[in-house]
Amino acid sequence: MFLPRQSLALLDPLQWPDHTDEQRAIYKSTIRFVEHSIKPNLQRWEQEGMLPRSLHREAGTLGLTGLGFPEAFGGTPADNWSRALVTWGLSQAGAGGVIAGLMSHSIMVWPLAVAGSKRIQSRELPQLLRGEMIGSLCVTEASGGSDVSAIQTQAVACDQGWKLNGSKLYITSGMRADLLLVAARTGAKGSQGISLFAVPGDAKGLSRQPLDKTGWLCSDTAALFFDDVYLPHDALVGEINRGFQLVMQNFNAERLFMAVQALAMAGVCLEESLAWAWSRQSFGQPLIQHQVIRHKFSAMLQAMLPCLHWARRLCQDMDGGRANAGEIALLKNAATRCMRDIADESIQILGGQGFMRSSASERIYREVKVMMIGGGADEIMHELACRQLGVMP
């Protein structure tokens, strides 16, 4: 017996109530982009280990790379839920590497928009927002990522401007980036001695080494080395020794959209395993007819839906400038656990098929850990929440 089915309305933003026409249009255009330009090429990009530059330009033409950023710099202002819908749409490719690689600039452009030099704001920033340049945020080092205040890469003032020495690790789009926003020590130990620098990708003394990883295969990740890299005075972004604050402000949006991505990826797994459960026969009937199997799906929805509503409310809070960093941290933890559990359960339902490279759930399962570590690890998020929400004295 074959049971025809449609995707779940609860997981389809076009069927969610109270979206504006503009939000529906943004979502539809993202889905068209995913279906026509991403899905047919994904397998190849995963093998090649990076996305083509043309994809960034295409996303730029559609307005996806500049969404939510000021018009003055070539962006398109939008509320945070609209940006979340783009994240949800891009996630339908079932490959987190697409979002990581295509949107790596999104975690480094805010400091440039808020505090970059006139030269960078008029030249590089619009190109980043139009997808004509690729950007990377470079904070993590071999000595540690969670403890940003322990950064060892150093920038020293010199006649020409600045001289940069040190290294960075696990940098998304690190092999392709045309502009790197690098956190470096300019002052005393701790968080108050860190500044941000805009480093051109062709700077003399910069070298790059690709890193091999478990998931996000179509997103290039690199170790970067700065060996006497000279930078002009106006490469400094913001005030000297105030870089930590700029980086921290950036983290809220990154974590909120990672949470949305995790939920969307959980949804992709759920849809894949549900389609399988409707068609796969076992003991004379489709899997879904076994109560123990169908209850797995209601349990998945039970875990996802509160997080989804929470994400929407936090997007509104962020629009109003009142989002709590601790709450965003907890949502990131809850959403990435949701992704982990649903990817796991989906593969269980898919059986042997779920262990094959052709299944989206298998790919997403390999991406769980980077979502629970990158952008602020689970343990660090709990600690932040304890501080921000009044748990700690």
What residue ranges bind ligand FAD (CB under 6 A)?
136-140, 144-146, 170-172, 213, 216, 221, 370, 373-375, 377, 379-380
Q: Report in angstroms how near the CB of residue 148 gets to ligand FAD at its nearest.
A: 8
DSSP calls for 296-327: HHHHHHHHHHHHHHHHHHHHHHHHTT---HHH
What is the token pair recorded at 278?
Answer: 């409707």
Question: Judged by CB, which is closer to ligand FAD: 140, or 273?
Answer: 140
Contact 241, 192 (CB under 8 A): yes
Cα 264 from Cα 138, distance rounded (Å): 26
Q: Which is nearer to ligand FAD, 11 or 247 (CB)?
A: 247
Output 203 or 373, the one with its CB closest to ligand FAD: 373
Give the bridge partners for 157, in sequence order: 162
User: Is the Cβ of residue 240 or residue 373 nearer to ligand FAD in the bound state?
Assistant: 373
Residues in the chain: 393
Residue number, 117 or 140, with CB nearest to ligand FAD: 140
Which amino acid belongs to residue 268? V
72 DSSP 8-state letter: G
Least Å distance, CB 195 to ligand FAD, is 15
**Which residues make Cβ contacts (< 8 Å) with residue 26, sequence separation at least 6?**
63, 67, 78, 82, 85, 86, 89
CB of 191 to ligand FAD, least distance (A): 14
Minimum Å distance from CB 189 to ligand FAD?
Answer: 17
Q: Provide the 3-class DSSP secondary structure of residue 55.
A: helix
Count the neighbouring beta carbons within 10 Å of the beta carbon of residue 38: 23
Shortest distance, position 149 Cβ to ligand FAD, whole Å: 12
| Shorter beta-carbon distance to ligand FAD: residue 213 or 242 | 213
Least distance in angstroms from the C-beta of 222 to ligand FAD? 9
Q: Which is nearer to ligand FAD, 137 or 318 (CB)?
A: 137
Taking CB positions, which residue lies at the least distance from ligand FAD?
A: 145
Closest by Cα among 132, 200, 121 to 164: 200
| CA trace torsion 3, 8, 14, 19 (10° rounding) | 150
Are 56 and 134 within 8 A, CB to CB? Answer: yes
The candidate with the shortest Cα–Cα distance to 103, out of 113, 91, 111, 119, is 91
Cβ at position 9, least distance to ligand FAD in Å? 33
In angstroms, give the least distance from the CB of 143 to ligand FAD. 8
Residue among 115 and 148 whose Cβ is closer to ligand FAD: 148
